[in-house]
Amino acid sequence: MTGRTAGAKMGGILTLNAGSSSLKFALFGPAGEAPLATGLADRIGLQGSLRLKDSAGAALPVAPGSLTSHAQALHCVLDSLHAAFPGIGVGAVGHRVVHGGPERATHALVDAALLDDLATLSPFAPLHQPHNLAGIRAAIEAFPEAPQVACFDTAFHRSHPWVNDTYGLPRQLYDLGVRRYGFHGLSYDYIAGELARSAPALAQGRVVIAHLGNGASLCGLLAGRSIASTMGFSPLDGLPMGTRPGQLDPGVMLFLMDQQGMSPQDISDLLYKQSGLLGLSGLSNDMRTLEASPAPEAAQAIEYFTARIRLEIGSMAAALGGIDALVFSGGIGENSALVRAKVCAGMGWLGIEIDTLANEAHARVVSAAGAATDVLVVPTNEELVIARATRALAGGGERTAA
Ligand code: AMP
């Protein structure tokens, strides 16, 4: 694709989240916090499909084009956005990047040196980082003059104290980068900001956020700063997820390699694609499917998922010295009253008690009146965090392209 050149259009912000076979995107205007459009190109390279909707959720027409590569998918996305919003150009592009390395605590304008540096982190997140970087390269090709901003999922967690940043391994491995990075930072950043705005006193306290989606993790925040997270060196650790097992005795890996003859690729597939809710239920990684299923294995998968979340909430509370609020977010956390109820059941010892009616109504506050710990449901908005950072770093999105 050739570069799209500057025109007399208003400079919007395009946010991109490039996965192995998907491209999630949103278009924001030059100002304002609500996206003009959001969408997803998925199954890129297979039988790709592109969906695009406006701010009211109505489907927008999709431009014709092939979805056989990320660059082609981006081309198709841009043509669709151009047709729907002819007055809005792309002034800057913000990218979700899973790994920023051990030092980077803030998001950054992309230049050649940063791209090279981020590529050295690909071995730390081989299933995500190379695709994120391919998305940046495709956007640079499409908009050579627009600032590109990299927003890191690890950045929010760089405030962890050393004990929550290290493993009990020889020190040279820490120096080599074997650390607890923590992920889902864009989501936690959004929720921390939302709490600071809507519940400032609570935001100054001890808050555990449960980001429960297809990927799942907890974050413990003290006065708005991340102190601990259940995800560690990779997005595999901590809670069970749609297709990942969560916390696992490393001895299992040795057994699989030594006794079962599994290769690193076999183990990677097992850990990233075949475990978690899918592996336990033998049915699906999708919580809606499991909740609707009469199969005992589906119920057991939900039991394991919620039991591990309860254990890890206890662990986060220990890291924080107590808990003032528990916040549910992510596709499951925001939408599954069953999961929230099961997580909170038996957590009275931490002051967590749920109001059944409020929970079933998906209210913002779902804790029982008088409970010591507030339980909230806060929808996350990672795209907005990327758009804000991109506006700030790119100088307000004033340069136009497209
Ligand atoms: P995410 O990765 O944040 O998009 O979340 C995806 C997960 O949210 C999937 O497991 C979905 O099944 C789950 N989810 C979405 N809506 C609901 C719902 N209404 N009830 C239960 N789970 C849901």
Is the pLDDT score of 358 beyond 80?
yes
Residues with CB under 6 A from ligand 1: 213-214, 242, 286-288, 291, 330-332, 335-336
Residue with structure tokens 């109505």? 58
Please report the pLDDT score of residue 315 as a whole number: 98
Please report the pLDDT score of residue 399 as a whole number: 36
Same domain, 216 and 359: yes
What is the share, in percent, of the chain residues with pLDDT greater than 90?
Answer: 89
Interval 294-305: pLDDT, tens: 999 999 999 999
User: Which of the listed residues 239, 336, 377, 382 should we mutate to test ligand 1's pocket, taking the one with most ligand atoms within 8 A of CB?
Assistant: 336
Please report the pLDDT score of residue 45 as a whole number: 83
Same domain, 114 and 207: no
Same domain, 134 and 214: no
Residue 149 tokens read as: 């901003």
The pLDDT-based confidence of 253 (bands split at 50, 70, 90) is very high
The pLDDT-based confidence of 400 (bands split at 50, 70, 90) is very low
Is the pLDDT score of 396 beyond 80?
no
Mean of all residue pLDDT scores within the chain: 94
Q: Is 153 a catalytic residue?
A: yes
Please report the pLDDT score of residue 65 as a whole number: 84
Q: Determine the Cα–Cα distance for residues 156 and 149; give it in Å rounded to an integer.
A: 16
pTM: 0.94
Centre of ligand 1 to C-alpha 37, Å, is 21
Which CATH number goes with the domain that contains 92? 3.30.420.40
Choice between 5 and 278, residue whose per-residue pLDDT is larger: 278
- Containing structural domain, residue 370: 200-377
Centre of ligand 1 to C-alpha 380, Å, is 13
Residue 101, domain member (yes or no): yes
Same domain, 344 and 229: yes
Rounded to an integer, the average pLDDT of 369-381 is 97
Please report the pLDDT score of residue 271 as a whole number: 97
Same domain, 108 and 213: no
Same domain, 241 and 141: no
Rounded to an integer, the average pLDDT of 346-369 is 97
For 120, half-sphere exposure in the C-beta direction (CA atoms, 13 angstrom radius) is 9
Rounded to an integer, the average pLDDT of 211-239 is 97
Task: Give the number of other CB atoms < 10 A from CB of residue 37.
Answer: 21
Is the pLDDT score of 118 beyond 50?
yes
Same domain, 99 and 241: no
Number of domains in the chain: 2
The pLDDT-based confidence of 4 (bands split at 50, 70, 90) is low
Average the pLDDT over each of 23-27, 64-68, 76-80, 83-87 and give the range with the smallest value: 64-68
Residue 3, domain member (yes or no): no
Interval 90-114: pLDDT, tens: 999 999 999 999 999 999 999 999 9
